[in-house]
Structure 1
Amino acid sequence: MKAGFVLKPKDTLKIKPLFLKVKEIFESKNIEVLLDLVSAKAIGFRGVEFEKLCEESDFLVAFGGDGTLISLARRSYKYDKPILGINVGNLGFLTDINPDNVDEFLDKFLEGKYRIDERMVIEVGYKGKNLYAFNDVVISKDIISSMINIEVNTQESFLNTYRGDGLIISTPTGSTAYNLSAGGPVVYPLTEGFILTPICPHSLTQRPLVLPSNFEIEVSTKEVAKLILDGQEIYNLNDKITINKAKKPIKLIHRIERNYFDVLREKLKWGEVK
């Protein structure tokens, strides 16, 4: 069995000792560790090209925080490999394994005592290409002092023209990211749907909206704008885009004991009495 590792790009040398510890544990369970070439160069190791890593690995490992996992999920999407997140970051909504409990988890993993969650992905059609987003698609104004008008249509009819700083189109997984900070709803991550949340809307009647995942959404603007995928890939938007549910989900490896509501209470401090 082979595991393909990608390390958090920032503070790579800082997390090197943790990686070496985890690598030793994986190898003690007869799981061969492959390391992405970029990650390997950062810590003075030999690595393999990302495409080869994805092709040869039985599963992938994001060694970092949620951002590392989101990036890996998007980049490896076409290879359809399950992803394990090991959290050496801060938040950890998606990465529920810590370096200290890797040994215990791998014993259960090798016994088949784990689960795979399938998470919806957004497919963005733009200029003849298909782009993918795991968390969200953001259409944002490009000039700080101005507003932007964003027209949204579905196959049903014209939906709305959003006027403000922009629009977030989120997956349920991404509902606890930018969507949440912009006032959008928290949506259980294993459901399927599009969450449309305006950013600083000009009118207070512009509220978040949840649409079924089988809708095709068309978004356009005549103004200078940016198209941002997962907060990590940025494109100049000068044409319409289409939003669809992607054909395949992202597969995340989790502990059987993982409970989403426990994660919400821990990360968002729900139920705490001060």
Structure 2
Amino acid sequence: MDNYRLGLILHPTRDVSPVVRTVLRWADRHNVGLAVGTGDRDRVPAEVRAVPTAELAAGCTALISIGGDGTMLGALRLTVEHPTPVLGVHLGKLGFLVEVEPADLPAALDRLAAHDVTLEPHSCLTCAVCDERLVAFNDVVLGRHPGEGFVTATLIIDGQRYGYYRCDSLIVSTPTGSTAYSYAAGGPLVSPAAQAVVLTPSAPMAGIARPVVLSPDELLRLELRPGSARAAVEVDGRVVKHIGDDGAIEVRYRRDAGLVVRLDPRRHRARSQLRLSLLDLPLLPDQLRELLPESLREEFDRRENPPTW
């Protein structure tokens, strides 16, 4: 395994040390180097090499994301210019992207090293705002500031104006992101195998009130109208910019921008479909448990009662 190296992407607040130790023991046995971003230097043992976070994807054979979907999205954003596979280790509550439980990690690493995995391609959105280009694997959102009125924006597709929105927020999502904020706002669920851009208004007050599905080849532009509240630009749930009523964003779809490691794609899809079906049920956790097949109850119990380290 000459020059084989794994990069560690860590949840910013959770205790990831038990999982890091598991990876370290596996790496020692297989003579594999480990690296971590310099910002996480103090959270890992000294034998893990610290490098600038932006260089992790270029210098590693694969990235190990330890956390939930948010951590996984951050890891994928690092790989846009360097197609490095990302393996997700689950420490979150729900998790549509991550697949591997901590107890199953050594076997997953064995399969990763043996190339006995499926690499699942994921699209992203590139967003131009204020002369800066941003990347999102779930969604780009124009959201209002509480107490400052509504976001009012003109919809422009390939240079053609189509109408306007007046709402709390405008959510532009990928098929993967259609299960997140867009879904909560009433947007459609889009197969991750599809190629599309979904635009969903949250709490629309006037103008266009329904979601719009666009071709991956269309250029989407949202221009704030005079009198609109200033808007926060969110990328995968992180506020990255604020724009006034003379601001605009342009969003393009980018194919095959990231690679997610899958050990059992069919089983992962079945688990994701089950989780989605449970989201709309107004039931308590113990009631939900009774609806699960026996094979999934143990996993459900781990989610509801995570171990304390």
Q: 1:31 to 1:201 in 2, by over 3 A?
A: same
Question: 1:261 maps to which residue?
Answer: 270
Name the amino acid aligned to 2:39.
V
Q: Given that residues 142 and 151 in structure 2 are in contact (C-alpha distance below 8 angstroms), is that contact kept between their aligned partners in structure 1?
A: no
- Counterparts of 1:62-141 in structure 2, within 5 Å, are 62-141=65-144
Question: For residue 28 of structure 1, what is the aligned residue in structure 2?
Answer: 29
Give the SS at the match of 2:152: strand
- Superposition deviation, residue 183 in structure 1: 1.0
Cα deviation, residue 15, structure 1? 2.1
Match of 1:252 in 2: 260
In the alignment, the residues of structure 1 paired with residue 149 and residue 75 of structure 2 have an alpha-carbon distance, to the nearest angstrom, of: 34
Partner of 2:172: 169
Give the residue type in structure 2 aligned to 1:4.
G
- Aligned to 1:101, the other structure's residue is in SS state helix
- Aligned-pair distance for 1:233? 3.7
Name the amino acid aligned to 1:85: G
Following TM superposition, by how much is the alpha carbon of 1:267 offset from its aligned partner in structure 2, in angstroms?
A: 5.3
TM-score by length of 2: 0.80
The answer (yes or no) to whether the contact 1:169–1:194 under 8 Å persists in 2 is yes
CA–CA distance in 2 between the matches of 1:42 and 1:268?
37
Query: Who is 1:16 aligned against?
Result: 17
Once the two structures are superposed, what CA deviation does each residue of 1:55-78 show, in whole Å capped at 9, x if it has no partner?
210111111111111112223422
For 1:201 and 1:73, locate their aligned partners in 2 and report how far apart those are by CA, in whole Å.
Answer: 31
Asked whether the equivalents of residues 9 and 64 of structure 2 are also in contact (C-alpha less than 8 Å), the reply is yes
- For residues 72-106 of structure 1, what are the alpha-carbon distances to aligned partners after superposition, in whole Å with 9 as ceiling and x for unaligned? 22234222322111112222211101111112222
State the Cα distance separating 1:228 from its structure 2 match.
0.9
Q: Take 2:151 and 2:125, find their aligned partners in 1: how far apart are those partners?
A: 23
Q: Which amino acid aligns with 2:232?
A: K
| Structure 1 position 264, deviation (Å) | 2.1
> How many angstroms apart in 2 are the aligned matches of 1:185 and 1:247?
20
The residue correspondences of 1:180-219 to structure 2 (distance < 5 A) are 180-203=183-206, 206-219=209-222
Kept in 1: contact 2:57–2:78 (CA 8 A): no
Count of paired positions? 272
**Any idea what the Cα deviations from partners look like across 1:139-168, whole Å, max 9, x if unmatched?**
111243522211111017322311111210
CA distance in 1, matches of 2:42, 2:6: 18
SS of aligned partner of 1:262: helix
Which 5+ residue runs of structure 1 have no aligned equivalent?
Answer: none
In the alignment, structure 1 residue 231 sits paired with structure 2 residue 240: no
- Greater shift, 181-190 or 74-83, is seen at 74-83
Q: Deviations over 1:158-209 (max 9, x none)?
A: 2231111121000011111111111111111121111111010114971112
Residues 91 and 267 in structure 1, CA contact (< 8 A), matched pair in contact too = no
TM-score (ref. length: structure 1): 0.90
> Secondary structure at the residue paired with 1:78?
coil
**1:51–1:148 Cα change, 3 Å:** closer
Give per-residue Cα distances to partners, 1:201-236, cap 9 Å, x unaligned: 114971112111111011110331111111114201
The C-alpha deviation readout for 1:97-132, integer Å capped at 9, x for no partner, is 111111222232233221111111101112333211
Query: C-alpha distance in 1, partners of 2:213/2:205?
Result: 20
RMSD of aligned alpha carbons: 2.3
Conserved 8 A contact 1:218-1:240: yes
CA contact (8 A) 1:26 1:33 kept: yes
Instruction: Give the letter for the 1:40 counterpart.
Output: R
Structure 1 window deviating more from structure 2 (55-64 vs 125-134): it is 125-134
| Unaligned segments of structure 2, at least 5 residues | 282-287, 292-309
Give runs of aligned pairs for residues 141-152 of structure 1, distance below 5 A.
Answer: 141-144=144-147, 146-152=149-155
Distance 2:66 2:24 in 1: 11
What are the residue-to-residue correspondences of 1:44-55 with 2, within 5 Å? 45=46, 47-55=50-58
Report the more deviating stretch, 29-38 or 223-232.
Answer: 29-38
Give SS of 2:241's match: strand
